[in-house]
């Protein structure tokens, strides 16, 4: 038992160190560690310099100079705009007097009440409709149940009538003697044969 446990442990260790085929292999972040030296195939590789003609360089210089000048002026404009915005904006500080604030609050409250009233009327209409539908549904189900029970009663009555009809020929305790007498007087012999035409052939 102990030995088996040890074997299991060893197997687990093998999986972790990747010495068998079930080792994990990352495909997403696969990279040579930083501490490894340059690969032999890349040892004497000289990276190619990007070629840039004199003409292109001067053109880019001109464009960059223009761009920087233009961007500087745009930045200047935006800086002034931000300052202007901060001076004129009322976003961060309170400018309303208490009365104004109260009026604003009252206005909001009224609007909210109006919305609530509107929604309440809509809801009442909807609820009434739903209630009506429910009542109709229940009524219908009740009718159906009544019909069903009536049918069942009918069936049961039928059965009872049939049983009563049958009961007339039953042998009761009083009529037992008579029945025995009758049976003894009229013995029935069932030992006979019938051919295909239905003719009876009595033996004995």
Binding site for other proteins (CB under 8 A): 28, 56, 60, 63-64, 66-67, 70-71, 74-75, 78-83, 85
Nearer to other proteins, 29 or 170 (CB): 29
| CA 36 distance to own-chain centroid | 53
Q: Which residues pair with 192 in a beta bridge?
A: 202
- How far apart are CB 72 and other proteins at their closest, in Å? 10
Nearer to other proteins, 86 or 106 (CB): 86
SS3 200: strand
Nearest to 189 by CA among 172, 176, 202: 202
- How far apart are CB 66 and other proteins at their closest, in Å? 8
The full 3-state SS of 72-113, as one line of letters, equals HHHHHHHHHHHHHHHHHCCCCCCCCCHHHHHHHHHHHHHHHH
Residues 104/96, Cβ–Cβ less than 8 Å: yes
Nearer to other proteins, 13 or 78 (CB): 78
Place of tokens 């209409």: 125
Nearer to other proteins, 59 or 130 (CB): 59
- How far apart are CB 78 and other proteins at their closest, in Å? 4
- How far apart are CB 85 and other proteins at their closest, in Å? 8
Nearer to other proteins, 69 or 112 (CB): 69
Residues 168/178, Cβ–Cβ less than 8 Å: no
- How far apart are CB 71 and other proteins at their closest, in Å? 6
17: CB partners within 8 A, 6+ apart: 23
């Amino acid at each position: 038992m102990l030995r088996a446990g040890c074997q299991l442990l060893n197997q687990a260790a093998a999986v972790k160190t990747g010495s068998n085929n079930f080792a994990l292999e990352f495909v997403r972040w696969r990279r040579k560690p930083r501490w490894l030296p340059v690969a032999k195939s890349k040892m004497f590789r000289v990276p190619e310099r990007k070629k840039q003609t004199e003409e292109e360089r001067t053109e880019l210089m001109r464009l960059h100079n223009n761009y920087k000048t233009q961007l500087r002026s745009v930045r200047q404009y935006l800086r002034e705009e931000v300052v202007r915005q901060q001076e004129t904006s009322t976003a961060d500080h309170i400018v309303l007097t208490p009365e104004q604030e109260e009026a604003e609050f009252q206005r909001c409250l009224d609007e909210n009440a109006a919305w609530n009233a509107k929604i309440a009327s809509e809801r009442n209409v909807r609820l009434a409709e739903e209630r009506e539908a429910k009542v109709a549904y229940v009524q219908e189900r009740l009718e159906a149940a009544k019909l069903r029970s009536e049918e069942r009663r009918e069936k049961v009555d039928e059965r009872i009538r049939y049983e009563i009809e049958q009961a007339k020929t039953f042998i009761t305790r009083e009529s037992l003697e008579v029945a025995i007498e009758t049976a003894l007087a009229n013995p029935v012999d069932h030992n006979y044969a019938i051919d295909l035409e239905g003719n009876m052939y009595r033996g004995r």
